[in-house]
Amino acid sequence: MSNLSYIHEKDTAWLTFLEQIERVTPYLSDLKEHIDVLKRPKRTLIVDVPIVMDDGTIRHFEGYRVQHSLTRGPGKGGIRYHPDVNLNEVMALSAWMTIKTAVLNLPFGGAKGGIRVDPKTLSPRELERLTRRYTSEISYIIGPQKDIPAPDVGTNQNVMAWIMDTYSSGQGHTVTGVVTGKPVHLGGSLGRVKATGRGVFVTGLEAAQKLNLHIQNAKIAVQGFGNVGAEAARLFAESGAKVVCVQDHSATLYDSNGFDIPALQSYAEIHSGIAGFPQGKKISTDDFWQVEMDICIPAALEGQITLERAQNLQAKLILEGANGPTYPEADDILKSRGITVVPDVVCNAGGVTVSYFEWVQDMASYFWSEDEINQRLDKLMIQAINDVWTMAEQHQCTLRTAAYILACRRILTARKERGVFPG
């Protein structure tokens, strides 16, 4: 239970984070005495964002930027535009960013922002005005050395370009390093769009090798065929695996021989989904979780692997491309069934890792080729999964618990060494 006055019992996302922190506390020895620093955000900003609509009326929107931890460096985390955005959710998402950057050992803390709005109901001009006013409201707490936003649900590289431009106008000079996920000709990084899917693949290969699971002809099921799912599927298929089942918002398709992934990708782009693709057969949404598979890649939504699905899932390895796809009680079942889960805070950290590279390149005004980016990405992802694996062996715990132990130790060691001002 939270002891923050602005958090209530219904605020499940934040309470889930607190529960995860409780679970790792026994592994933190004398660093335990600093644990409370993770149980409250460092800084929470709620802003009113008024804009003039195209019809001349004025509307007010609620915006947030939460910096959960700045202990290891500037805040890092996306900005979400969604009608359900609220303080509790933004706090939890910012805390998970703290964990993710620490697992990857990136020199960042964790942050997240958002506006309570359905962006689809705004015209492009209204969306731009909303973004620019929101940026101006949070501008004094963001910056390349303070907190660096990025895209999340409902925002994209155009929104990042407006944030960069608005922030730069206030500073009187161009500051590309204030956001990541920008268009490439505005200081964005090559390889950013495919980075998360690539990270899923790289950590997956490493995990498979440790489990003696051969990728050649391994059967893979992928939920979500967007940025993350399609890229991971493409790389696995290129390595000889058979992607036998693919699900997106439009359909669930099955083919025991494995899909032609490039063809499916082209089809999905043209038709905004995989429904109607001529290869394979259509199966029901729920049957996705029952098909014969070696590797399952949930890469669409949170809360997908329920207790019941965990009991029946045939996979040996789960690669969490999405954030939070597995319920905690399902995690326990998977553990008891000997199914390995590479958790989201490692598996899908390729995006924030290349965001880090984007920030480094912006600061140096020197840009790397896509090959250089991919090599650096692979190196950091392999290091992270190996660090987590070793920790899990040492403590005989799941990779998720191990990732949290690793992250909390890094953050709390930094906290301890910095001391408490004024002492």
Pairing state of beta strands 147-151 and 75-82? parallel
**Nearest to ligand NAD of 139, 227 (CB atom):** 227
Using CB under 6 A as the binding rule, whether residue 247 contacts ligand NAD is answered as yes
Does 386 count as an annotated binding residue?
A: no
Q: Which is nearer to ligand NAD, 229 or 258 (CB)?
A: 229
**Nearest residue to ligand NAD, scored by beta-carbon proximity:** 226
Instruction: Count CB atoms within 10 A of the CB of residue 376.
Output: 17
- Residues 6 or more apart in contact with residue 299 via CB below 8 angstroms: 197, 200, 222, 223, 224, 225, 226, 228, 229, 232, 321, 322
| 355 labeled part of a ligand binding site | yes
Of 207 and 268, CB closest to ligand NAD: 268
Question: What does the block give as tokens for 135?
Answer: 């940026």
Burial of residue 2, with CB atoms counted within 10 A of its CB: 0-12 exposed, 13-18 middle, 19 or more buried: middle
301 binds ligand NAD (CB under 6 A): yes
285 labelled as ligand-binding?
no
Does position 249 interact with ligand NAD (CB under 6 A)? The reply is: yes
Out of 351, 384, 385, 397, name the contact with ligand NAD by CB under 6 A. Answer: 351
**Among 70, 99, 207, 300, interactor with ligand NAD by CB under 6 A:** 300
Residues 118-157 that bind ligand NAD (CB under 6 A): none
What is the smallest separation between the CB atom of 267 and ligand NAD, expressed in angstroms? 12
Hey, what's the torsion of the CAs at 250, 256, 257, 262, to 10 degrees?
20
Provide the residue type at 16 as one letter: T
Cβ–Cβ < 8 Å for 300, 247: yes
Q: Among 105, 141, 226, 382, which residue sits at the site for ligand NAD (rule: CB under 6 A)?
A: 226
| Least distance between ligand NAD and beta carbon 100 (Å) | 9
224 contacts ligand NAD (rule: CB under 6 A): yes
Quote the tokens at residue 227. Answer: 């940025």
Residue 100 is assigned to a ligand binding site: yes
The H helix count followed by the E strand count for the chain is 13, 12
Q: How far is the CB of 233 from ligand NAD (least distance, A)?
A: 11
Q: Closest distance between ligand NAD and the C-beta of residue 53, in Å?
A: 27
DSSP summary character for residue 176: G
Task: Answer whether 72's CB lies under 8 Å from 411's CB.
Answer: yes
Pick the closest to residue 127 from 156, 159, 103 (CA basis): 159
Measured CA to CA, the distance from residue 39 to residue 32 in angstroms comes to: 12
From first CA to last CA, the distance across the chain in angstroms is 29
Contact status: 322 vs ligand NAD (CB under 6 A): yes
Of these residues, 10, 39, 42, 112, which one is catalytic?
112
CB of 94 or CB of 196, closer to ligand NAD: 196
For residue 416, say whether it is annotated as part of any ligand binding site: no
Q: Alpha helix (H) ranges present in 139-241?
A: 157-171, 192-210, 227-238
Radius of gyration of the chain (CA): 21
248 contributes a contact to ligand NAD by CB under 6 A: yes
Strand partners, 73: none
- Applying CB under 6 A, among 44, 105, 265, 323 the residue interacting with ligand NAD is 323
Q: Which is nearer to ligand NAD, 51 or 102 (CB)?
A: 102
Q: Which of residues 175-214 bind ligand NAD (CB under 6 A)?
A: 196
Whether residue 416 lies in the annotated active site:
no
Binding status of residue 321 toward ligand NAD by CB under 6 A: yes
Task: Count Cβ atoms below 10 Å from residue 140 Cβ, excluding itself.
Answer: 10
Q: Could you say which of 102, 299, 333, 412 contacts ligand NAD (CB under 6 A)?
A: 299
User: Which positions touch ligand NAD (CB under 6 A)?
Assistant: 196, 223-229, 247-249, 299-301, 321-323, 348, 351
By annotation, the residues acting in catalysis are 112
Binding residues for substrate: 76, 100, 355
